[in-house]
Homo-oligomer: A and B are copies of this chain.
Amino acid sequence: MSFQPVLIDGTWKQARLPVGSFAAVNPATKTPLTDRFPVSSFSDIELALSAAHQMVFELPSVSVDITVNFLEAFADNIEARREELVEMASRETGLAQEPRLRSVELPRTTNQLRQAASAALNRSWCRATIDTKTNIRSKYSPLGGPVVIFGPNNFPFAFNSIAGGDFAAAIAAGNPVIAKANPGHPGTTKIFAEAAFEAFQTIGLPQATVQLLYHFQPEDGLKLVAHPLVGTTAFTGSRTTGLRLKEAADIAGKLIYLEMSSVNPVFILPGALKERLNEVANELFSSCTLGSGQFCTNPGLVILLQDESGEALMQEVSRLFQSAPAGLLLNSQVLEKIAAAIEGLQEHGAEIVTGGKEINKPGYRFANTLLRVSGDVFGEHPKALQAEAFGPVSLFVFARNEAQIVEIATYLEGNLTGSIYSHSKGQDNLLYERLEPILHKKVGRLINDKMPTGVAVTPAMHHGGPYPATGHPGFTAVGIPASLLRFAALLCYDNVPQDRLPVELQDKNPTGEMWRFIDGEWTKRDV
């Protein structure tokens, strides 16, 4: 039986002795799609590694223009195949074509590729640093091995392993990529891979720079991230899988960047509710149910005061949750995990306010679900009550008093984001000042009066945070040029003559537009 081919060393080929096969399932109909994709054996992984290893030595001699042109041509090709992508992704993931896939996620994806192209062209991302007196010069350079990318299930475009933010950053930083498709949307990933293939053939990027495997066994994933030829791994997905990969990489001394689960606490201070209860309720409802709540920045934990306004907010959010149809979920596992997570929350004292069960409509659906728990009970089981329910689920924590609001913040694990809603005229300022210093140590992005969903791709964005939200609090997965630094090693040149230096470190500014840190000053001038 023949499966969809994998992309190894610039060639579409049948997987070598695959250990199995799989098909995506349409979550709306619960029926498998027709294309079957191989579960690769380690032999495919080895072929890809060996081809990528060659690229590590070829790519440095490839002109930056080629990389830039590739990223731009790839973005063009994606736009040319927009309708095909949107249709396939909606079939594989159940996500709405409009506005989500066509008007939001696809433009975001091509925008990321073009921003990465622009960063590669400008070269400032590599933070060239020159000390003229000592003739010591350094910059961030590509890693000595390919970047392995595991994309998540919830962003078939913008975090796709072969087209998303990690891919764009890894390529722009000069690394070859081995992409592993998320098994939830292999058909979408295949279209991206074809678009990339066409682009690198047209532009002349060395052909093993971009490789794709659809799936492999978990134990082979562990071997891959620990393999001596790998540069680093970028993983976006569940904490369980992320921590297993981390352990394997750690033991081998291999870098790994992980973006794992997050419950994104939202603190709603009393003044905000007095001032704009309905507005807050609507924002919370929209953010919780957007994309059926399947976002790493979904507001899964809401902390507020146990008083009349707090109860009123919960009633209003509950009403909105009930009024909205249960959205489609990505697949049956997401559904099962939501049910299990809610059971775990209930076991530790949370009570269901609304929802809490699977919906018997066509497709995988779970009712929009609100739970509640007292601050006292939360304090007894802070870890269990922070378990992520990945979907349209949120837990309200009702604090006895303001001191307990602050206390709850001390129990929080590392999160991607933390939001504080407060009175616009300063009535909550005293409480804000007690809460913020604690909360900001637990999150990567501290937000005021806004929900955490919606992650702008701008230089100051930080999509990361303290463990266990990620594996390192100093790196962001979103935001160019900073996201490129995950895929680079600092390399210093000591007493190396001009003609042996990379152009970025030679006296003359290679583009005239590149920022360099020369003798302690950021400048675009020549040395």
- Could you list which residues of chain A lie within 8 angstroms of chain B, going by C-beta atoms? 56-57, 60, 129-131, 133-134, 136-138, 140-141, 143-144, 246-247, 250-251, 253-255, 417, 432, 436-438, 440-450, 456, 458-462, 464, 466-468, 471-476, 482, 485, 488-497, 500, 515, 517, 519-522
Contact = CB atoms under 8 A, between A and B. Distances in A.
B495 A460 contact: no
Nearest to A432: B500
A317 B72 CA distance: 56
Contact of A489 (B251, B474, B519): B474
A490 B253 CA distance: 23
B491 A129 contact: no
A130 B491 contact: no
Given A444-B492, A446-B496, 20 more contacts: A57-B437, A131-B458, A134-B456, A136-B456, A138-B461, A144-B441, A144-B442, A255-B473, A436-B500, A443-B491, A446-B492, A447-B494, A448-B494, A448-B500, A450-B495, A460-B492, A461-B492, A462-B492, A473-B489, A522-B522
A272 to B, nearest CB: 13
- Chain copies in complex: 2
A169 to B, nearest CB: 14
Contacts of A482: 129, 490
Contacts of A447: 494-496
Nearest to A461: B136
A320 B358 CA distance: 81
Given A56-B441, A246-B250, A441-B56, A490 B464 contact: yes
Contacts of A495: 447-450
Contact of A474 (B134, B253, B464, B485): B485
B489 A437 contact: no
Contact of A459 (B458, B491, B517): B517
Given A57-B437, A461-B136, A444 B515 contact: no
A3 to B, nearest CB: 35
A450 B494 contact: yes
A456 B448 CA distance: 44
A475 B459 CA distance: 21
B130 A460 contact: yes
A394 B287 CA distance: 63
Q: 4 closest Cβ contacts across the A-B interface?
A: A522-B522, A462-B492, A144-B441, A473-B489
A138 B479 CA distance: 11
A491 B474 CA distance: 8
A466 to B, nearest CB: 6
B474 A490 contact: yes
Contacts of A493: 445-446, 448
A141 to B, nearest CB: 8
A99 B449 CA distance: 60
A441 B228 CA distance: 13
A131 B253 contact: no
A462 B138 CA distance: 7
Contact of A476 (B247, B458, B464, B490): B490
Contacts of A497: 448
A136 B483 CA distance: 16
Contacts of A459: 129, 131, 517, 519-520
Contacts of A440: 141, 491
B138 A460 contact: yes
A490 B475 contact: yes
B473 A490 contact: yes
Contacts of A438: 57
A495 to B, nearest CB: 5
Contacts of A461: 131, 136, 138, 492
A460 B443 CA distance: 31
A87 to B, nearest CB: 32
Nearest to A122: B520
A495 B137 CA distance: 37
A143 B466 CA distance: 9
12 contacts: A56-B441, A131-B458, A137-B460, A144-B442, A247-B250, A250-B251, A254-B467, A443-B491, A448-B495, A448-B500, A461-B492, A473-B490
A101 to B, nearest CB: 23
A458 B253 CA distance: 28
A129 B460 contact: yes
